[in-house]
């Protein structure tokens, strides 16, 4: 079962930063936070993951709170092509499985 909760949908203006929150209040010490996105009729695309430190790559930044009970995915300059469903997933290091929650539908508007 998914261990995360996310808002159902969010809007963001093109060119602005998109901040997508995720709550994972029952996260355990060895569990990582992963973010994926799914554009309609495609497989999920990996974005970023982290354990406790903030992470940044060419796609996004991941901010994890100190207590690790929540995180925020930041797309610094959203484009129309970033419109997708974004999934936050928690998974233990020694277990392979992903259980997807409902995700957040991000609508980037011109």
Partner 1 sequence: GAVVSQHPSRVICKSGTSVKIECRSLDFQATTMFWYRQFPKQSLMLMATSNEGSKATYEQGVEKDKFLINHASLTLSTLTVTSAHPEDSSFYICSARVLGTGHQPQHFGDGTRLSIL
Using DSSP, state whether 80 is helix, strand or coil.
helix
Nearer to partner 1, 96 or 110 (CB): 96
- Of 79, 58, 74, residue with least CA distance to 19: 74
Total count of residues recorded for the chain: 110
Least distance from partner 1 to the Cβ atom of residue 16, Å:
27
Task: Give Cα separations from 110 to 48, 66, 84 (angstroms).
Answer: 25, 35, 15
Chain residues binding partner 1 by CB under 8 A are 2, 32, 34, 36, 38, 41-46, 49, 51, 87, 91, 93-94, 96-103
Least distance from partner 1 to the Cβ atom of residue 81, Å:
16
Least distance from partner 1 to the Cβ atom of residue 46, Å:
5
Nearer to partner 1, 14 or 21 (CB): 21
> What is the rounded CA–CA span in Å between residue 102 and residue 5?
8
Nearer to partner 1, 36 or 78 (CB): 36
**Pairing mode of beta strands 31-38, 45-50:** antiparallel
Nearer to partner 1, 31 or 82 (CB): 31
């Amino acid at each position: 079962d998914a261990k995360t909760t996310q808002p159902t949908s969010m809007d963001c203006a093109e060119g602005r930063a998109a901040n997508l929150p995720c709550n994972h209040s029952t996260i355990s010490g060895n569990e990582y936070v992963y973010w994926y996105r799914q554009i309609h009729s495609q497989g999920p695309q990996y974005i970023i993951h982290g354990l406790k430190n903030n992470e940044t790559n060419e796609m996004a930044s991941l901010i994890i709170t100190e207590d690790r009970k929540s995180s925020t995915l930041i797309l610094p300059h959203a484009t129309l092509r970033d419109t997708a469903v974004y999934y936050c997933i928690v998974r233990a290091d020694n277990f392979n499985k992903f259980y997807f929650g409902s995700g957040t539908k991000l609508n980037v508007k011109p």
